[in-house]
Chain A
Amino acid sequence: MADTAARNEPQLYIGGGGGGVRERDFGDYGGSGLPPGTARRVYRTGMWMALVAISMLFVAFTSAYVVRSGLSDDWQPLALPPLVWWNTLALLLSSFTMEQTRRALTEGQRTACNRWILATVVLGTVFVAGQLLVWRTLVSRGIYVATNPSSSFFYLLTGAHGLHLLGGLIALLYVALEAWRYRLGPAKRTLVEVTALYWHFMDGLWVYLLLLVWLWR
């Protein structure tokens, strides 16, 4: 099967509907030989479900945020450090470069693909570093976690998002390493796809959180 994939021959196994497609290296087992079809659908379904679960976490945080902000007169609006906008720009750009990575991979332009994935990793790292700087800026202003409910939520939301994003960054690093070793064959297309899905979601989630703390002050 791995050979079939490597030789770029059409893969005849049916992928949909009835299931029952049993392939070597299926499931969590990395390596070559993932057929189109079941394994790919399973990974996509799994990732979507993970995103649903993560969404529920942030939905709960949001409802707590909205309720808590209207609960008492102790809420003091938090002035966002301007750096968050640059971080946001970096993250948005990283989504763009991730899409370029995918396109280059589909078109078989390996060198371009490698450059784009590297750019994505760099931009992701820039975002994380930038968020840490935002925290330091707040600390230098004397704003800590317990200073005010608005700051509690800001640290909580950025922290929770940052942790999830770090997970995505680790996946990106893995994809990048595989890309640079020219091991990102068609068999790993699913890996790239679900990583991209997760990464875009982290991007969208950040935009949402930023709008929340910016508009709902």
Chain B
Amino acid sequence: MGHTAGTHDAHAVHEAPQSFIRKYIFSYDHKVIGIQYWFLALTAVFVGMALSLYMRLRLAWPSAHFPLLGSGPMTPETYLSLLTMHGTIMVFFVLTTAPQGGFGNYALPIQIGAADMAFPFLNMMSFWVTFVAFAVMVSAFFVTGGAPLGGWTAYPPLSALGAITGPGEGTGMTLWIISIALFCVGALLGALNFIATTIDLRTKGMSLMRMPLTVWAWFITAILGLLAFGVLLAGGILLLMDRLAGTSFFIPGGLVVSEQVMVSHSGGSPLLWQHLFWFFGHPEVYIAILPGMGAASQILSVFSRKPIFGYRAMVYAMLSIGILGFLVWGHHMFISGMSPYSAMAFSVMTLSIGVPSAIKTFNWIGTMWGGKIRFTAPMLYAIGFVSLFVSGGLSGIFLGQPSLDLYLHDTYFVVGHFHLVMGVAAIFGMFAGTTYWFPKMFGRMMHEGLGKLHFWITFPGVYAIFMPMHYLGIAGHMRRYADTTGVNYLAALQPVHVFITVAAIITISAQLLFVINIFWSMFKGPKATENPWEATTLEWTVPSPPPHDNFGGKMPVVYHGAYEYSVPGAAKDYVMQTSPEAVPHSGH
């Protein structure tokens, strides 16, 4: 019987639902859930961008009035709440949600030849828990005191003491913690689902070393998530107890806040939170970027018409980035007064991440080298990803050294660094993923010209925004401050702020092109064929969009790795993973 069991017993994993609600709202289908995650991230990214726009306006023109924010210039407290919510929404609900929950959910089961995720019901739950988390987070804007001020890192004691530390630190901060705790639960459910799916549901012939690098990236990301989010959840619970139950995990004694002595707490340590937070926080950086690396690897290979350079090296590089990612959290705490010996250890581990990162970069360039490159929109975004990852990564080598970090840590240098390497690099991964998988997801092609126009505004745009921040930082401009008027040595830098803000306005406006492209193409784009990019992986063997159970009751059998391009002697210049034809140099 063997593998034919599936074909004669042609039941889907679950029957295709008929009603609108079961089909599009509370769906068990990984494809629908992936698109739901993707739309959630799309919503969140516009909320997050709007917040950053307000911050940029405040920085460029400190005394101007802005709509929706009441009369008069924006207060520093409002600025801090925008900063907090921008960071939180972007990190959790965009960078964690779309690359993994969105594209991973959509493409991973198809790419390994499965009809759905291992636990479809859990999958639905993880999306809806994440959705509720987002709703709770946004609701913090609308409660008394407004959104919290403590930054996306929510450092105690300020985050632990309640409304006395500022507007938004009361109910708003409590909602923030609850939202993050919910997010952790959703992310953990998702992570265990991804891992079980990848381990157990690969189709016949899909050995580990034949998996597309996207699948490896999502798999490793899921492992990181599984190990990291539980720790953040623990920290969140302790923080909530400090706030609501009167405990003193993070709150030291003898604090004077708003001219009042805090007598009800003693003996705790804010550093304890920092350790718990960054033990999660650093792997989180890789949770955001690894799926982008996977997508870039895939897309660079497809559009260079060449096998990925060093497939195994790519896999091992991602694995070592994942492992090292858990050993470097201390580099976020160099200025916390840690022992120079610990700092040295963290520094050595941090800098050694440069090795696998360089391997990946080398291999991406090696993949493109001498290829018959097709400069489609997804390819441009993928190249943009590599560029931004390199630019942002290089400044990481500066910051990984305690002696330099002591100076640069609380300056715009760090803002420039992490926005390039974690923020927009990952965003470019999402642009690439969206344009690449859009034909599969919606059955229609996106508009190429509009995509390229969007790329050519956005790519220089993000450099124009974040590169000058490095100079601001080296000049000693502190970050997180709404207002530096009166700080004489910074007065000369004000034109740089204006420049950055103008660049931000242009770049943010250009994002409308992307959205217009998405919605126009969804309804009016030309119909997509099964395999418009001439790629080899399994999602391109099924109709666009795929049927409910992906493979229409007949499970694929895999004969090759995912990167058989420009195969000598083959009928076309690529060999599908499902094609039984022999490949002379079949290395993996």
Contact = CB atoms under 8 A, between A and B. Distances in A.
B2 interface: yes
B323 interface: no
Contacts of B196: 42, 45-46, 49
Residue among A1, A13, A64, A146 with the most chain B CB within 10 A?
Answer: A64
Nearest to A17: B204
A2 B41 CA distance: 41
B514 to A, nearest CB: 35
A82 interface: no
Interface residues of B, number: 67
Interface stretch (B51-59, B240-248, B356-364): B240-248
Nearest to B193: A46
B505 interface: no
Taking each of B117, B119, B249, which has the highest tally of chain A beta carbons within 10 Å of its own beta carbon?
Answer: B249
Interface stretch (B9-17, B488-496, B560-568): B9-17
Interface of A: 1, 12-14, 17-24, 26-29, 38, 41-42, 45-46, 49-50, 52-61, 63-64, 67-68, 71-75, 145-146, 149, 152, 156, 160
B203 A49 contact: no
Contact of B13 (A26, A71, A72, A160): A26
B2 A149 contact: no
B237 interface: yes
Contact of A18 (B11, B192, B205, B229): B205
Contact of A145 (B116, B241, B269): B241
A68 B268 contact: yes
A57 B11 contact: no
Closest 9 pairs (CB-CB, A-B): A18-B204, A56-B230, A60-B234, A72-B267, A146-B246, A28-B121, A49-B192, A22-B6, A74-B267
Contact of A57 (B1, B230, B549, B555): B230
Given A19-B201, A20-B203, A22-B9, 19 more contacts: A18-B202, A18-B203, A19-B206, A20-B204, A22-B115, A23-B9, A26-B13, A27-B120, A28-B120, A38-B200, A41-B200, A42-B201, A49-B195, A50-B192, A63-B276, A64-B234, A146-B247, A152-B241, A160-B237
B233 interface: yes
Interface of B: 1-3, 5-6, 9, 11-14, 28, 112-122, 188, 191-193, 195-197, 199-206, 226-231, 233-235, 237-238, 241, 245-249, 266-269, 272, 275-276, 279, 549, 553, 555-557
A64 B249 contact: yes
Contacts of B227: 52-53, 56
Contact of A67 (B229, B241, B272): B272
A53 B115 contact: no
Contact of B5 (A13, A49, A67): A13
Nearest to B195: A49
29 contacts: A1-B9, A19-B112, A19-B113, A19-B201, A19-B203, A19-B204, A22-B115, A23-B5, A27-B118, A28-B122, A38-B200, A41-B200, A45-B195, A45-B196, A53-B192, A53-B226, A57-B230, A57-B234, A60-B231, A60-B234, A61-B234, A64-B234, A68-B267, A71-B268, A71-B272, A74-B267, A145-B246, A152-B248, A156-B241
Contacts of A28: 28, 119-122
A75 B268 CA distance: 10
Given A24-B9, A42-B200, A49-B191, A71 B231 contact: no
A67 B237 contact: no
A46 B9 contact: no
Contacts of A20: 3, 6, 113, 203-204, 555-557
A21 B1 CA distance: 11
A24 B169 CA distance: 51
Nearest to B199: A45
Contact of A13 (B1, B114, B195, B231): B1
B276 A60 contact: yes
B195 A149 contact: no
Contacts of A46: 118-119, 122, 192-193, 196
